[in-house]
Structure 1
């Protein structure tokens, strides 16, 4: 029984790695290498898939019990989280048009810094001084990596920072807005409600900011039908990221999840460099390594302060 559980957990973690890294690399390929220059429409495709597949998983397949939204106030809170979530995903996709995956992962590793900042100013949550001290190498590493990045692009960097900050803000807001026992939702049910709201945000944004994207997508499909497969597969992977994240969280400890998350970023960097062959520098890699060390120290300091 223990052996079966061990292999099940290994399979879950492998699926989590594959879906996370896979959607990241495919996003990069579509937006930067393939020439599909519509990050908002790509995010819209992701959210439509998440809406449909979340409904199928919870309502039809009953993978987890359905949790009902109990009030308009709770729905408004979920809509707020959905808007921040949209901003994070769109900004992240935009950044992939201009920056290599390896550098976006280095910037993304600063999530603990933004989480601590938002927790301090928004949630008025204080940490021990040692916890804040560990954020110094996190930020210093990104500064060093930025200076040593051969493909540095200022707008892409700003978008990547925005995506990281929005991701941290969503985490903090979720703890504030859905803190009462009657309002708490597991991640799969939260996605079930957030994704359709995100679609409502993204449709007008796509029409206003990415004119004629449907016509151009159809024209691309006439030349290369594989674009349809890429979009469908990429959108399904986006849902798998959320599903496997929920399952890995459920079947492993919080500490294991932190370690696996840190390692996942490093794996994504190595694979992206091998596939896209983007130039790297020793300074950039040293900066990324320093950031990862800072994240590990931050996690350890948080654990000891509890």
Structure 2
């Protein structure tokens, strides 16, 4: 199940009081990265390797699980108290919750079907086009105005994704179409949520959104599954996988939604965007190691171009220059032994994190490239598997 998280969009972040310590933010970030990647790998294993080839029923089960848990949380904790700020009327349900639920259903179903046709590595490369779809839909709905800089930036991202797609050894047109449909539905969901809630001056975080949408989307998906999957459902597939495995899978998927909500509340949109890029790189590497996926040089080139464009899109030219300047000053200070104990100014620390994030992305891409050509992957596979 996909989490209702922020897509990598340009953001300056919101200044929040009483920010937690760097250690806590780091732990939240690790929890989000781990839960997100495990959810994706788990879904891929269930639908492909384990042979539970019912993507609609699987995401429906996730949503039923989420419905039960959010109802319990709403009645026993304060995590969902912000729901009281939203209208509890049929008009709000029919004009806001239901339309967003319909496009959410399309996004989740299409995204789950992709696992039957494409590898996780290829899926993540195609998902890098998310900002392109969001901006196009935003322009279509008149939410933002196109600028030359943004147009050039998304064209570079689209070019990188196109090159990565062209480099696929086993290209699946069905899988590609499902992935593009999933991105389109998700972009419409993001923009519709922004328009419908902002027009009424309302706010809805990830967990409250799940509280409202989960039961609606579960019913919609069940209706679709009743025509597509239920007539061909084999109980042997359920017995082979086991209810305990499905329960664990749903719990992991819900954990992703919970950790994303916590992290969004503790950090800025910029940190989320950069963390998401790093998370996707780790996911590509895990896919290569677990399923022995072959990454071609053309795919590496296309994905590298996309990652660089995504970093520029998320950070911006000014912050990149600040990061470069801060990293140079920091290295210079270390060599002279004059780095202050407090780690420098807030601006310098932010810039340093940006520079380090960019460096990690570049080094990871370089490692993937070297590993492909020197047979490192093959050695690792033989050692681990």
TM-score with structure 1 length normalisation? 0.91
Count of aligned residue pairs for this structure pair: 298
Q: Distance in 2 between matches of 1:73 and 1:184?
A: 17
Q: Which residue of 1 aligns with 2:185?
A: 166
Q: Distance in 2 between matches of 1:221 and 1:85?
A: 26
Contact kept, 8 Å, 1:137 with 1:291, in 2: the verdict is yes
After superposition, give the CA deviation of every residue in 1:171-204 in whole Å (9 maximum; x if it has no partner). 1111101114553222211110100001110111
Q: Distance in 1 between matches of 2:228 and 2:267?
A: 41
1:142 is the counterpart of 2:161? yes
1:294 is the counterpart of 2:309? yes
Q: Distance in 1 between matches of 2:157 and 2:229?
A: 35
Q: Which residue of 2 aligns with 1:9?
A: 25
After superposition, give the CA deviation of every residue in 1:20-56 in whole Å (9 maximum; x if it has no partner). 1111011111111111111100110111111111122
Q: Distance in 1 between matches of 2:273 and 2:186?
A: 16
The alpha carbon displacement at 1:301 in A equals: 4.2
Contact kept, 8 Å, 1:82 with 1:194, in 2: the verdict is yes
Q: 1:99 pairs with 103, 118, 122, which one?
A: 118
Q: Which residue of 1 aligns with 2:63?
A: 47
- Cα pair distance change 1:213/1:193, threshold 3 Å: farther
Q: Distance in 2 between matches of 1:36 and 1:302?
A: 46
Q: 2:142 pairs with 111, 116, 123, which one?
A: 123
Bigger shift: residues 119-128 or 169-178: 119-128
Q: Distance in 2 between matches of 1:167 and 1:62?
A: 28
Q: 1:260 pairs with 275, 291, 294, which one?
A: 275
Q: Which residue of 1 aligns with 2:45?
A: 29
Q: Which residue of 1 aligns with 2:349?
A: none
Contact kept, 8 Å, 1:74 with 1:183, in 2: the verdict is no
Contact kept, 8 Å, 2:274 with 2:314, in 1: the verdict is no
Q: 2:219 pairs with 175, 191, 200, which one?
A: 200
Greater gyration radius: 2
The alpha carbon displacement at 1:270 in A equals: 0.7
Q: Distance in 1 between matches of 2:176 and 2:228?
A: 20
The alpha carbon displacement at 1:268 in A equals: 0.8
TM-score with structure 2 length normalisation? 0.73
Which one has more relative contact order, counting CA pairs under 8 Å at least 6 apart? 1
The CA RMSD over aligned residues, in Å, is: 2.0
The alpha carbon displacement at 1:63 in A equals: 2.2
The alpha carbon displacement at 1:221 in A equals: 4.2
SS in 2 for 1:178: helix
Q: 1:271 pairs with 286, 292, 313, which one?
A: 286
**Unaligned stretches of 5+ residues in structure 1:** none
SS in 2 for 1:67: helix
**Unaligned stretches of 5+ residues in structure 2:** 1-17, 320-385
Q: Distance in 1 between matches of 2:22 and 2:72?
A: 28
Contact kept, 8 Å, 2:52 with 2:238, in 1: the verdict is no
Contact kept, 8 Å, 1:107 with 1:160, in 2: the verdict is yes
